[in-house]
């Protein structure tokens, strides 16, 4: 893919409680993202970090939605910037920041597609609404918000809702789902490959089915990759680690298959937290996955 890529960093940490995930974009830059993608022949522009406001102290915790106002405000700006990148005909490569950034990124990107698809690699489903969330953390809600479910301050970002349809989503790698999320996945019939299906069928079948499922009914696929999809033994720098996850080997293979399919139009790599990491290995894995997504071959 000799692509035009625009890197945008989002130092967002308001969607959860751990300090350090705001340093994720710079950890990924330090791991050489721009240089490595350029070595593949991509033209890469880095528009640096989008400023994220601070939480208005205390009063900001509305109805099981930590930092709601600040997250909503940041989401509008993220949407605006993502919109601009797509308009400029460049591929948005978005570096998080916690996963709440997906509310804004999908809002800005989906405007440009009639039927945007999404592949969501994650230990979690991020499909909570305030009524089902065990934590009040908005990073556990972005997919629900994109579906139009939850608080209107989140579902209405960028002036329209919903951003995406349930039949255009594939979840991959789940192993920690809250009860309300399980109900919602079943009710909406969302295509889901938990770790059980990955172990049973293998990553090749899972990816080929996912791509075939989305191919004809969508006009572009957004990749949302939470680094906690990987097993914490290999990617420990995340705030909500869950054992029994994807190996780096499986994850890289998945990226290689996505490259071959050539339908991904935008991507975000989220939840990298260098404070919780060992020698930046999680950010380095993220960059290796990006290389495979943009066409790096082993031979």
Ligand X SMILES: NC(=[NH2+])NCCC[C@H](N)C(=O)O
CB of 266 to Mn ion, least distance (A): 16
228 is catalytic: yes
- Residue number with CB closer to Mn ion (124 or 252): 124
Nearest to 52 by CA among 11, 106, 93, 23: 11
- Residue number with CB closer to Mn ion (228 or 268): 228
135 binds, among Mn ion, ligand X, none (CB under 5 to 8 A by kind): ligand X
Cis amide leading into 162 (omega within 30): yes
- Which range touches ligand X (CB under 6 A), out of 5-13, 132-140, 167-175, 250-258? 132-140
Nearest to 8 by CA among 74, 65, 70, 67: 74
User: What is the secondary structure of 13-47 as a DSSP string?
Assistant: -TTSS-TTGGGHHHHHHHTTHHHHHHHTT-EEEEE
Residues 259/5, Cβ–Cβ less than 8 Å: no
Q: Is 57 helix (H, G, I), strand (E, B) or coil?
A: coil
User: What is the secondary structure of 205-225 as a DSSP string?
Assistant: HHHHHHHHHHHTT-S-EEEEE
Task: Look at the chain and count its residues.
Answer: 299
- What one-character DSSP code corresponds to residue 245? -
Which residue in 135, 247, 263, 280 binds ligand X (CB under 6 A)?
A: 135
Q: Does 240 bind ligand X (CB under 6 A)?
A: yes
**Residue 219 annotated as part of some ligand binding site:** no
Q: Does 228 bind Mn ion (CB under 5 A)?
A: yes
Which residue in 99, 168, 252, 285 binds ligand X (CB under 6 A)?
A: 99
Nearest to 75 by CA among 98, 43, 44, 107: 107
To 10 degrees, the CA torsion angle through 225, 196, 274, 108? 20
CB of 22 to ligand X, least distance (A): 14
Instruction: Give the pairing of strands 91-96 and 221-226.
Output: unpaired
83 binds, among ligand X, Mn ion, none (CB under 5 to 8 A by kind): none
In angstroms, rounded to a whole number, what is the distance separating the alpha carbons of residues 2 and 10? Answer: 25
Question: Residues 170 to 189: which contact ligand X by CB under 6 A?
Answer: 178
Catalytic residue among 139, 151, 168, 259: 139
Which residue in 95, 101, 123, 157 binds Mn ion (CB under 5 A)?
A: 123
**Residue 278 annotated as part of some ligand binding site:** no
**Residue 122 annotated as part of some ligand binding site:** yes
**CA distances to 132, 186, 216, 271 from 180, in Å:** 5, 10, 30, 22
CB of 98 to ligand X, least distance (A): 6
Catalytic residue among 13, 228, 256, 291: 228
- What number of other Cβ atoms are within 10 A of residue 205's Cβ? 13
CB of 100 to Mn ion, least distance (A): 9
**Residue 228 annotated as part of some ligand binding site:** yes
168 is catalytic: no
Question: Residues 98 to 117: which contact Mn ion by CB under 5 A?
Answer: 99
Contact residues toward ligand X (CB under 6 A) are 99, 124, 126, 128, 133-135, 137, 139-140, 178, 226, 228, 240, 271
Contact residues toward Mn ion (CB under 5 A) are 99, 122-124, 126, 226, 228
Catalytic residues: 99, 122, 124, 126, 139, 226, 228, 271
């Amino acid at each position: 893919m000799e692509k035009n890529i625009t890197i945008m960093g989002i130092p967002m940490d308001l969607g959860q409680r751990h300090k350090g995930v705001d340093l994720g974009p710079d950890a990924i830059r330090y791991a050489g993202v721009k240089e490595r993608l350029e070595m593949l022949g991509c033209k890469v522009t880095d528009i640096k970090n989008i400023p994220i406001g601070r939480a208005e102290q205390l009063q900001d915790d509305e109805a099981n939605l930590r930092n709601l106002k600040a997250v909503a405000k940041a989401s509008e700006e993220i949407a605006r910037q993502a919109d601009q990148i797509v308009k400029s005909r460049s591929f948005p490569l978005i570096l998080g920041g916690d996963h709440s950034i997906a509310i804004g990124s999908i809002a800005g990107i989906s405007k440009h597609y009639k039927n945007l698809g999404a592949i969501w690699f994650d230990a979690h489903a991020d499909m909570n609404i305030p009524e089902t969330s065990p934590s009040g953390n908005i990073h556990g809600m972005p997919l629900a918000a994109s579906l139009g479910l939850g608080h209107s301050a989140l579902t209405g970002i960028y002036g329209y809702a919903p951003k995406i349809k349930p039949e255009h989503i594939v979840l991959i790698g789940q192993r920690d789902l809250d009860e309300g999320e399980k109900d919602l996945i079943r009710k909406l019939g969302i295509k889901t490959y938990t770790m059980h299906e990955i172990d049973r069928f293998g990553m090749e079948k899972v990816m080929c089915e996912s791509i075939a499922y989305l191919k004809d009914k969508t006009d572009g696929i957004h990749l949302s990759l939470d680094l906690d999809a990987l097993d914490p033994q290999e990617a420990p720098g995340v705030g909500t680690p869950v054992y029994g996850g994807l190996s780096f080997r499986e994850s890289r293979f998945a990226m290689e298959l996505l490259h071959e399919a050539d339908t991904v139009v935008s991507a975000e790599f989220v939840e990298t937290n260098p404070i919780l990491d060992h020698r930046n290995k999680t950010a380095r894995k993220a960059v290796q996955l990006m290389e495979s997504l943009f066409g790096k071959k082993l031979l």
